[in-house]
Structure 1
Amino acid sequence: MTAEIQNKAEDTNRELVLTRLIDAPRERVFAAWTQPDLLKQWFAPRPWSTPVAELDVRTGGWNYVVMRDQDGNDYPNRGMYLEVVPNEKIVFTDAYTGDWQPSDKPFFTAVLTFEDEGGKTRYTARARHWTVEDRQAHEKMGFHEGWGMCADQLEELLKRG
């Protein structure tokens, strides 16, 4: 097996993917990921909420997002943007907490793409994990259900205008 084929197999074993066709232009879908007031309205699966969203959306920028469960427990998340292409792509990771400071335990890197498809947006979220065990843990946490609910909430928000 060549190194390229081996690397592709390893990537697949560590990746979770969600794709949706969202009935909104990609500029609006991108804006919902990059504007704090919009992100707070859809980012956590209900009944959870997102009371804090501080975003410096640019390559090398940082983010701080807090999700809150129905019992009032907060789950803070810090990360950095590795690549931002307006209306096309956002790559962020929890491997760094800002200013290229390594995090205590990196878990995944998200690769979000936004593609035009018949007046709608093909939204794809890829969660690439450091280990197969991390991918399995994220899957057991409910990646597909949670990120799917959030994608539904995102589309609901965009339909409301």
Structure 2
Amino acid sequence: MTNNFVFETDMAAKTIHIAREFNAPVEKVWRAWTEADLLEKWIAPKPWTAKTKIMDFTVGGIWLYAMVGTEGQKHWVYAKFTAIENGSAFSSTGMFCDGEGNPVVDGPKSYRDTKFTTVDGNRTRVDSVITFEEESTIKMFAQGGFKEGTTMTFSQLDEFLTIK
């Protein structure tokens, strides 16, 4: 069954639209996106891993995590949840930061709206729209391997959903 992957960049609007279908019910996919111990199993493109320091999945709460490389290098990411519709959607603001959650000065900032819908009764479609503040940031994401990394992590999520 096809996964109907979409990755569309709109440079003028400074947005990237990503959509993907998964062969699992929406409840299972929602949990994989919103629970730290499950996110860590698929969110980092291999051979990298993800390690959560803080996960407070509430409006105003944060997810502070590191992408950890094979030699122990860490790239810290901070996401603040700005809206949550339990089981169907959430929004967040994201940025790079240090291990304490302090933003990288002049670092890129993005806003993500993610929606989960049931397809054909037992499948899930995830739609994310990422909006960037700066043109230079969307260029970095659009040209810097973000599509390939997203494709890889979604494949990892497919594998995880079949065993979990």
Q: TM-score range by the shorter chain?
A: 0.7 to 0.9
**TM-score of the aligned structures, taking structure 1 as reference length:** 0.83
Identity, in percent, stands at 23
Number of aligned positions between the proteins: 149
For 1:49 and 1:125, locate their aligned partners in 2 and report how far apart those are by CA, in whole Å: 22
Q: Does the 8 Å contact 1:91/1:110 carry over to 2?
A: yes
SS at structure 2 position matched to 1:27: helix
Determine if the alignment matches structure 1 residue 112 to structure 2 residue 114: yes
For 1:11 and 1:144, locate their aligned partners in 2 and report how far apart those are by CA, in whole Å: 15
- Post-superposition offset of 1:54: 2.4
Selected match of 2:156 from 144, 153, 156: 153
After superposition, where does 1:35-114 map in structure 2 within 5 Å?
35-94=35-94, 103=103, 104=105, 105-114=107-116
TM superposition outliers: structure 1 runs of 4+ over 6 Å: none
**Which residue identity is paired with 2:58?**
R
**TM-score of the aligned structures, taking structure 2 as reference length:** 0.81
Instruction: Considering fraction of residues, name the structure with more helix.
Output: 1
- Give the equivalent residue in structure 2 for 1:122: 125
The alignment's C-alpha RMSD in Å is 2.2
Q: Does the 8 Å contact 2:90/2:114 carry over to 1?
A: yes
Instruction: Considering fraction of residues, name the structure with more strand.
Output: 2
Any gaps of 5 or more consecutive residues in structure 1? 1-9
- Give the equivalent residue in structure 2 for 1:7: none
**Which residue identity is paired with 1:88?**
S
Question: CA, structure 1 residues 49+60, in 2 after alignment: closer, same or farther (shift >3 Å)?
Answer: same
For 2:59 and 2:51, locate their aligned partners in 1 and report how far apart those are by CA, in whole Å: 24
Any gaps of 5 or more consecutive residues in structure 2? 1-9
For 1:73 and 1:46, locate their aligned partners in 2 and report how far apart those are by CA, in whole Å: 14
Determine if the alignment matches structure 1 residue 133 to structure 2 residue 136: yes
